Structure 1
């Protein structure tokens, strides 16, 4: 859905200022997210990079979960742990 929307915004951008601004903002978020994904482990991530990377990663994880849940894999079923009989004193 994002690619067709970006294509429509790119088509509208030369004539509509809001389309150009939205396309630029989306590109900036994508760039900051990519920087967050390749950030070296062990170094603190600046909040300006961490927040968009976290938000995009969360949305990708949610999309992947929906695809798995609605696909052939199904989802795991929770069941309580099996414990032996314990005596209460």
Structure 2
């Protein structure tokens, strides 16, 4: 006999889920998903930036970037 069947024998009905708990868990999962997506995008941006660090100044200019005074790559200012 399962716990649901035992509860039905005792109470005469199935246990009800509290909607507030379900909403709280759902919102936490949504927030965690958003944080994971943000971290993944930041990681991919960092990899792409590291990849173009090796390009020459002329090639960076061709694809819309330039070197800052400290050598970091930034979007070209128009």
Q: Shared fold (TM-score greater than 0.5)?
A: no
Compare the two structures and name the one with the higher strand fraction.
2
Larger Rg: 2
TM-score normalised by structure 2 residue count? 0.36
